[in-house]
A and B are shown apart, each in its own frame.
Chain A
């Protein structure tokens, strides 16, 4: 149904647009939508002969549509599984674009700055630490008066890349989380309430004294919410910021297929709860003309587009990763 609609829509657009303009369709992740739409918009000034149409329908839809080749590129907040990749009609590349971070926000009297290590965050979200006055929290936050109050856990109810990053992190710091809950865009939460979207979670946290929840860094910054410093694997408590996420990217171990997880990297200044988002592109493009334009765009996105990331609160890829990705883009055939 959706496909038919989309086809109809693109058909309509093709008729109304100038005949020479080429339309490249993409669909997928919602998390990077603001930066992608800025890129596509800016790119029309660089190359007027091509127009990009991006539907932010979610990572699930993005993966489905690129697999069935109803779009020219897909986008996903989580890497595709081996099972899904096996279903692809050709070799599918993961192209990381920008990174984002999750922060742990809370509602306590006076909004003190808190510090957590990974096991503490995991224990809270597992329901094992139930009170704010718990020694595990108090010992990391000397000088902060913590109330003898129940902790109310708030998580995302909708499937999201934000949840993927957060559960990926918890799985990396807590074996118990890994075996009991695992990682995914939606998981079976042991405790807590679900809020829809970043606004649902932060709304719930704001209104419930004693609540704790995870939200996207960009959202927390734009709405001036308090969030905790998180202890990274080198033992430093790090505040989430564009710089500390880029630092995490710089030291994350990145395999050749770019399907990497960047939680808990070794860097001394790296913020540990971060993740990237990908474009999904076939290594061999069927339509030569479209393929050429797509590759030109991707190169532009890396050379020029990455510079726009920080202003929208996304972390750009560090130079060493950019170089590797650019080389891979150069190998796309059309």
Chain B
């Protein structure tokens, strides 16, 4: 919106606007309005579907931990918990790895291998979700169960996070699968951001006698950190909504446990799993409400991220310029 008053200033002569300008303006507005309308319509439809459950369970739905379709008793807490925990694990793993890869691709890798590496990263994004899931079930989970988890339990077992029986399928396995799936987007976006850092920035740092690492840290990363944060938010959005792969490795148990070895469940997974066979109205309505909760959680997380981005922006620009 603030760009609007600037537009007439850019066109100094003031004859009546020609129709391509006007129609383009309206078309663009229409496109933007469609997105907003779509979100509202989705929210409204979900609310309509969830009406029955909202009336019956009220706020309790959010912190109630039982999910019992036979007794028509529903609560969303285990699913909200599972969704948030797996997303956080995924981000903790994928952001350092993704940004590291992007840094290597833009700052360090020899020019000859950059393009092939970029292609490999982008191929990762093209692998369908269910393939990741199958790979998770047959390769990743057994390996985690017999190696990484045993090792974690042995050395970090004093933390509640790494206690309890090891099944392989677990919240941690879910987080790892999602991390792999959001890696390409975080890497690609970070790479574009890093490439957009002006070379002047680097040259100035070198001129001051900075080492390669110092150039990356002071000149490149601090310049690009807003954008990298944005890449992480994009990744988070995907992590929250990931369904197919995660349901195959998370164990699908509606339970809240402090241990990352315990099975869990996510909002998107339970909807995908149970929607087709939900026969009673209340059951269906509760599933709709889970969808509504997922939408709200996603919006909230994005709003928080935007706020964090804004506070980060103040500090960031001050330092660089």
Contacts and interface: CB of A to CB of B under 8 A. Distances in A.
A152 B265 CA distance: 18
Given A150-B165, A196-B247, A204-B169, A57 B276 contact: yes
Contact of A203 (B67, B138, B253, B277): B138
Interface stretch (B23-31, B105-113, B178-186, B278-286): B278-286
Interface residues of B, number: 33
A207 to B, nearest CB: 6
Interface string A17-31: 000000000000010
Interface in A27-85: 30, 57-61, 63, 76-78, 80-81, 83-84
B278 A193 contact: no
A184 B169 contact: no
B274 A158 contact: yes
Contacts of B276: 30, 57-61, 158-159
Contacts, number: 103
B248 A196 contact: yes
Interface in A116-145: none
Nearest to B70: A182
Interface residues of A, number: 40
B278 A188 contact: no
A229 B316 CA distance: 69
A231 interface: no
Contacts of B68: 187-188
A183 interface: yes
B156 to A, nearest CB: 23
Contact of A188 (B66, B141, B165): B66
B291 interface: no
The interface residues of chain A, by DSSP majority, are classed as loop
Interface in B63-97: 66-71
B252 interface: yes
Interface string B164-196: 010111000000000000000000000000000
Contact of A81 (B169, B274, B275, B280): B280
Interface in A164-193: 181-189, 192-193
Given A181-B70, A193-B253, A200 B248 contact: yes
B277 A160 contact: yes
Given A60-B284, A203-B137, A182 B71 contact: yes
Nearest to B270: A157
B263 interface: yes
Given A188-B71, A203-B138, A207-B142, A58 B251 contact: no
A81 to B, nearest CB: 7
A195 interface: yes
B168 A207 contact: yes
B279 A200 contact: no
Interface of A: 30, 57-61, 63, 76-78, 80-81, 83-84, 150, 152, 157-161, 181-189, 192-196, 200, 203-204, 207-208
